Amino acid sequence: MRRRPDHVPAFSGHLLLEAAPDGGGRTVLARQSFRAPFHLSKPYAHDAALQVQIVNPTAGMLEGDRLELDVTVRAGAALLVTTPSHARAFRARGAGGVACRQRLAVEAGGWLDWWPEPLVPHAGSDYRQETSIAFAAGASLFFCDAVAPGRIARGERWAWRRLALGLTVTEGARPILRERFDLAADHAAQLAQLAGQPDAWLATCVLVGAGDEPERWAALRTLHAGPVWIGASRLPAVRAHALRIIAPDGGQLRGTIAAVRRIFAPVLPGLGVPLRRV
């Protein structure tokens, strides 16, 4: 059981990134600021995007941590944000838990690819996350948020104390998606059993700019097979869709998301960027 020693203060971490084109049209970080437990690895420039990895040099997120992320992509810029490893929320003793607020904004003509590794909530953890995504007409983005059922190798399944994940997406000033996952662990376990996947890994994806070409959506439907469940919903904004994915393990979840990215890479070239994880 991981606990914060009494003498170690909680983190009040922040991460601010602003991606913009330089004079030659290449994407650079026009502004950046971060404080523990966030750290940035050296950005890597692909042809289609600038890749930035958010590194947590600590063991994970402990009770009392308060985290703020603010990412903006300006017109003409393309940014890929990843993490090198799973995020971990450890057991909480009191009522504080971990609170994380993420604000993502993309201007017209900008591209944001948000694909961190999944969250692993440990037994007894209390993790609350609120994500807001605001994009302008003419922007494009891929957002993926994934959750593991727990530390399967340690025999932990659906054992968190609280897990609350909120997501709000707006086009301009108009909300087009608002949802909240806030289930007791035993209720989540019952739903997983109902789906026939007691160790289900879950992912929510948002695509903006994917278009409505029938052949791409037909290819997406082929992924809904065997133990993998995938569903898609068209959002009110033009060219915007939400995807839900359920997979029996982390490997199949990763493979399904990678397949989704390959299907839409011809219309969203940033999805073809090979990840470099360190």
In a domain, 177, yes or no: yes
Q: The whole model's pTM is what? A: 0.93
Specify which residues 29 forms β-bridges with.
19
In a domain, 248, yes or no: yes
In a domain, 259, yes or no: yes
Percentage helix, strand, coil for the chain under 3-state DSSP, each rounded to 5: 15, 45, 40
In a domain, 51, yes or no: yes
pLDDT of res. 9: 57
Counted domains in the chain: 1
Specify which residues 140 forms β-bridges with.
111
Confidence of residue 7 (pLDDT cuts 50, 70, 90): very low
Is the pLDDT reported for residue 4 higher than 90?
no
Tokens describing residue 39? 């750290």
At 263, is the secondary structure helix, strand, or coil?
helix
Tell me the pLDDT tens digit for each residue of 113-136.
999 999 999 999 999 999 999 999
In a domain, 70, yes or no: yes
What is the residue whose two structure tokens read 């806030």? 182
Give the span between the Cα atoms of 264 and 13, in whole angstroms.
34
Q: Which domain holds residue 158?
A: 12-270
Tell me the pLDDT tens digit for each residue of 237-262.
778 999 999 999 999 999 999 999 99
In a domain, 79, yes or no: yes
pLDDT of res. 1: 43
> Would you say how long the chain is, in residues?
278
In a domain, 5, yes or no: no
